[in-house]
Amino acid sequence: MLSPTHLFALAYQLGRDPRGAAESAIDAWVREASPRDVVRLGVTARAAFRHGVWSTYVPLNAPLVPERLAEIAPRAPTSVAALLSTHRSGYVRELALRHLAAARDAFVIPFLLLRTDDIVPELRALAEGAIEARLEPELAAPFARSLAMLETLGGRTRSGGGPMARRIHRFLAQPACRQALVAASSDPDPAVRRLASSLRLHVEPAAHVLAPALRDPDTRVRIWAARASVSRSTSDDDKRALLPILQASRSACSRSLALRASQRLDGGDGPLEAALLDHHAAVRYLARTLLRARHPDRAFGQARTGALAVLATAGAPGPELVGALGALADVGLPEDGDAVARFLADPRPRVRLEATRTLGFVRR
């Protein structure tokens, strides 16, 4: 895609090229831009998009007549208006916003949302009114794709963006907007995926929403889903359905959350015993802490025996070996040193490193 500064340079050619090359390029960019692209455009425009707009000089100290937009952009006035809505001049933004407010194209919604934080109160009101008029189920998709932008706007105080963001959240949480949220749950932007899934929790079973989120490629989405899975707002039945995913997670944070949740739900020692051989030290420590809280006089000889059994198993996977070696570093005895030393020459660097660390503990 073209850079924002390239787009601003094209704006100066509007009305000068009879073939409309600049207008066509702007139209293509605006229609393909994601809400995150629009935010970047707005940030860059504050410093770079400020000296006039098109080739002929137009005074920027008085309102511009609406006909001016049709003169410089006869083929794609709405796309050009979207770009001009980020201009430094309030009069240029007003010209653009009045056109956008009357347009029904879905791609203008992120540009209107951006202007709900405009520094000029009249322009904020104009943008907010245009947004209110578009809160219809058939336009839910662009609002759902703009959830990350809404999260940013909701934290700003200049325009009271919080109430507008909450209004749109309530709109998207309606059953009629469910498909838009489902689609946004697969958006390329991880923040949009997280926020869309969060809104779906209001109208869908938690296990149905959180199970795919726990497998999301983005770490932040997975951590959010893990915390939501064990929160008080999630039913016990949904927690039980999600626990196997949490227990099998690559994230130590998720596995620790699963341990705590399993203790609140069932209270059995099985998950804690298994976690004593986890390949992450924080999970093993949590398991020992929870077991000691339940059984103050408990010894950990069983964990040591299990760890030695893993080390004696031919072809044991690397993570299991790391967990067993780590367990011996926690509860091993000096006579376990020979079993550990065999892995000092293991071809897997992580296993060698853990063996070296464990040997230092058991031989002290």
What is the rounded CA–CA span in Å between residue 278 and residue 255?
9
Pairwise CA distance, residues 258 & 266, whole Å: 12
The region that residue 270 occupies, defined by phi over 0 for left and psi between -120 and 50 for alpha, beta otherwise, is alpha
Select from 93, 73, 5 the least CA-distant residue to 41.
Answer: 5
Q: How far is residue 151's CA from residue 292's CA, in Å, rounded to a whole number?
A: 43
Mean pLDDT by 10 residues, the chain (364 residues): 88 82 94 94 88 64 83 91 93 94 94 93 93 95 95 70 84 93 96 96 93 95 95 94 93 93 85 89 91 81 88 90 91 89 92 92 78
d(CA 97, CA 72): 16
| pLDDT value for 36 | 94
167 in Cβ contact with 150 (< 8 Å): no
Tell me, rounded to whole angstroms, the distance of Cα 106 from its chain centroid.
Answer: 23
Residues in the chain: 364
What are the boundaries of each domain within the chain?
A: 1-134
Specify the pLDDT at position 185.
96
Do 206 and 228 form a contact (C-beta atoms < 8 A)? yes
- Return all residues near 74 (Cβ < 8 A) that are at least 6 apart: 20, 23
Alpha-carbon distance 94 to 262, whole Å? 57
- The per-residue pLDDT for 302 is 82
What pLDDT sits at residue 56? 59
Closest CA to 137 of 105, 177, 174, 170: 177
pLDDT at 170: 92
CA distance 137 to 174: 9
Tokens, residue 308: 């030695």
Question: Shortest CA distance to 262 belongs to which of 277, 250, 279, 245?
Answer: 245
Please name the residues in contact with 329: beta carbons below 8 A apart, sequence gap of 6 or more: 354, 357, 358, 361, 362
pLDDT value of position 149: 92
| Per-residue pLDDT at 62 | 75
Output the six-digit token pair for 68.
């001016």
Candidates 328, 289, 333, 330; CA nearest to 307 is: 328
Q: Are 227 and 197 a contacting pair, CB within 8 Å? A: no
pLDDT computed for residue 161 by the predictor? 55
Q: Transcribe 29-93 into DSSP letters.
A: HHHH--HHHHHHHHHHHHHHS-S-SSSS---SSSPPPTHHHHHH-SS-HHHHHHHHTT-SSHHHH
